[in-house]
């Protein structure tokens, strides 16, 4: 009885709690989880930076694209399945929701296994294509083997389980699992990088720590998922996955595929930026890699807000409470814009000292490190201006996914990456060099934000919301 009551209380967050409190209840643990996981990703870079070797930093920058593709595949089943799960809960169809969650889990396991196989077979040519040079290929290959080929299954499944738990109203439990893995990685990084493995193998040590932490996070989330499944509509049986209706499977993919393609396009833009930076120099690539990690801090907060918003919007959309749905979108938008604006001010002021956290200029190749830090500070001051526009794009995309709209977010992603950001990247880089490469991001994001706001209004009007 207590477990059923707990599940009822979770649904009250979606349906009855004042919107500001409801958004805080769902978004706060998600934001904390995003930040802790960001910290553990940044800790890899921080400790690698302590070596004073910008070529190791450049190697980890190259592998980011492969990691982001893992996240994209996780979003396919996590966001696609999670969005449908929340909508089915809003309709009171709990048994259908259980089959959907089971299908999302097993489909993600199959996708992760296929991805690991492909990267394992074509690892070196992939890394060369992504910008690895003779000085960085060995480091990049080692990191990709451990984190992607060996560690992708627990990594992807932990993301999917967290999405499903969050959309079932278990945001705290999902965030604790992801955060715990992040904290473990923070502890394991220096142990493997500087104690267990010999000098020169710091990148391999960081990879081992990351893979072990992802595995621990997956095991915890799997335990919680099974326990919560006794009350919440969270299934894990293979026969439940097979029982998922064709219509529900299509619904998962109709939202999940656009979500995955959005991130894949974002990753493609990152690949282009890396290759353009590498064409200038390995040090430019290392500087861009530092900036990409720093600018993920406001990004993580904004994504956390949108992920917390998503199940509330989805539930109320299906339940017919459209006024509450719209108010949730507006409240999340205001919170995200305030945080984005504050982050711009802070990064403009502290660009140089923040960049120094990720690369020592007193160890290793000091002259190369100082050049890299100068590039990083310049890039950061320019690219930081993109944050508020970027949040408006997230708010629009997650809001449309929550109401089961898959095509419109994909259109937004195509406009953002293919029509605006990537063409601007090549154009401005050819005209203004490194400064133009950095300026392409804020220019592309703000132009896309205008389009995103117009697109969201049209979608809501079309659905009479």
pLDDT digits (tens, 9 = 90+) for 290-334: 888 888 888 888 888 998 898 899 889 988 889 999 999 999 999
pLDDT digits (tens, 9 = 90+) for 84-103: 898 888 888 888 989 999 99
pLDDT-above-90 percentage for the chain? 37
pLDDT digits (tens, 9 = 90+) for 152-190: 999 999 999 998 998 888 878 888 888 888 888 888 988
Q: What is the pLDDT of residue 26?
A: 85
Q: What is the pLDDT of residue 266?
A: 80
For residue 5, is pLDDT > 60?
no
pTM above 0.75? Answer: no
- List the domain boundaries for the chain: 2-462
pLDDT digits (tens, 9 = 90+) for 95-149: 898 999 999 999 999 999 999 999 999 999 989 888 788 888 888 899 999 999 9
Q: What is the pLDDT of residue 110?
A: 94
Give the model's confidence band at 2: pLDDT under 50 very low, under 70 low, under 90 confident, else very high: very low
Q: What is the pLDDT of residue 261?
A: 82
pLDDT digits (tens, 9 = 90+) for 257-284: 877 887 788 878 888 888 898 888 888 8
Q: What does the CA dihedral 11, 17, 18, 22 come to, rounded to 10 degrees?
A: -50
Higher-confidence residue: 434 or 16? 434
Q: What is the pLDDT of residue 170?
A: 82
Give the model's confidence band at 212: pLDDT under 50 very low, under 70 low, under 90 confident, else very high: very high
In three-state form (DSSP H/G/I as H, E/B as E, the rest C), the secondary structure along the chain is CHHHHHHHHHHHHHHCCCHHHHHHHHHHHHHHHHHHHHHHHHHHHHHHHCCCCHHHHHHHHHHHHHHHHHHHHHHHHHHHHHHHHHHHHHCCCHHHHHHHHHHHHHHHHHHHHHHHHHHHHCHHHHHHHCCCCCCCHHHHHHHHHHHHHHCHHHHHHHHHHHHHHHHCCCHHHHHHHHHHHHHHHHHHHHHHHHHHCCCCCHHHHHHHHHHHHHHHHHHHHHHHHHHHCCCCCCCCCHHHHHHCCHHHHHHHHHHHHHHHHHHHHHHHHHHHHHHHHHHHCHHHHHHHHHHHHHCHHHHHHHHHHHHHHHHHHHHHHHHCCHHHHHHHHHHHHHHHHHHHHHHHHHHHHCHHHHHHCCCCCCCCCHHHHHHHHHHHHHHHHHHHHHHHHHHHHHHHHHHHHHCCCCHHHHHHHHHHHHHHHHHHHHHHHHHHCHHHHHHHHHHHHHHHHHHHHHHHHHHHHHCCC
For residue 57, is pLDDT > 90?
no
pLDDT-above-70 percentage for the chain? 94
Name 352's Cβ contacts closer than 8 Å, sequence gap at least 6.
Answer: 373, 377
Mean of pLDDT values over 247-261 = 86
Give the model's confidence band at 443: pLDDT under 50 very low, under 70 low, under 90 confident, else very high: very high
Average the pLDDT over each of 328-337, 353-362, 395-404 and give the range with the smallest value.
353-362
Q: What is the pLDDT of residue 229?
A: 79
Q: What is the pLDDT of residue 9?
A: 61
Q: What is the pLDDT of residue 220?
A: 94
Average predicted confidence (pLDDT) for the chain: 86
């Amino acid at each position: 009885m207590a477990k059923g009551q707990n599940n009822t209380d979770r649904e009250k967050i979606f349906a009855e709690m004042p919107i500001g409190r409801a958004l805080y209840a769902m978004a706060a643990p998600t934001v904390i989880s995003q930040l802790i996981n960001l910290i553990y990703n940044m800790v890899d870079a921080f400790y690698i930076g302590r070596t004073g070797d910008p070529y190791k930093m450049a190697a980890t920058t190259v592998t980011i694209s492969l990691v982001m593709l893992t996240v994209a595949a996780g979003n396919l089943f996590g966001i696609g399945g999670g969005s449908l799960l929340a909508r089915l809960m809003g309709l009171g169809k709990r048994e259908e929701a259980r089959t959907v969650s089971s299908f999302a889990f097993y489909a993600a396991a199959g996708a992760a296994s296929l991805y690991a196989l492909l990267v394992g077979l074509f690892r070196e040519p992939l890394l060369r294509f992504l910008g690895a040079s003779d000085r960085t290929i060995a480091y990049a290959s080692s990191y990709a083997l451990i984190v992607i080929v060996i560690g992708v299954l627990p990594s992807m499944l932990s993301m999917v389980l967290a999405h499903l738990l969050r959309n079932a109203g278990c945001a705290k439990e999902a965030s604790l699992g992801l955060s715990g893995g992040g904290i473990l990685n923070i502890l394991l990084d220096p142990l493997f990088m500087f104690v267990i493995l010999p000098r020169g193998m710091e990148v391999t040590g960081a990879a081992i720590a990351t893979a072990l932490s992802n595995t621990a996070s997956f095991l915890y989330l799997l335990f919680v998922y099974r326990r919560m499944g006794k009350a919440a509509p969270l299934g894990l049986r293979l026969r439940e996955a097979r029982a998922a209706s064709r219509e529900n499977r299509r619904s998962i993919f109709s939202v999940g595929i656009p979500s995955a393609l959005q991130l894949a396009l974002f990753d493609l833009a990152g690949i282009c930026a890396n290759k353009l930076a590498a064409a200038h120099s390995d040090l430019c690539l290392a500087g861009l890699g530092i900036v990409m990690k720093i600018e993920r801090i406001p990004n993580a907060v904004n994504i956390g807000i949108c992920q917390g918003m998503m199940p509330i919007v989805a539930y109320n959309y299906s339940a017919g409470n459209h006024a509450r749905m719209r108010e949730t979108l507006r409240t999340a938008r205001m919170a995200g814009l305030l945080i984005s604006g504050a982050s711009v001010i802070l990064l403009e002021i502290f660009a140089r000292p923040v960049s120094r956290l990720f690369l020592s200029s007193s160890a290793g190749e000091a002259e190369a490190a100082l050049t890299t830090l100068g590039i990083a500070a310049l890039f950061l001051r320019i690219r930081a201006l993109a944050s508020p526009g970027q949040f408006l794009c997230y708010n629009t995309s997650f809001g449309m996914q929550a109401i089961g709209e898959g095509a419109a977010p994909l259109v937004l992603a195509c406009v953002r990456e293919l029509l605006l950001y990537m063409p601007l990247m090549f154009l401005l880089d050819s005209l203004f060099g490194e400064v133009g490469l950095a300026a392409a991001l804020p220019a592309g994001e703000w132009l896309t934000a205008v389009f995103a706001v117009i697109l969201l209004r049209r979608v809501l009007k079309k659905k009479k919301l």
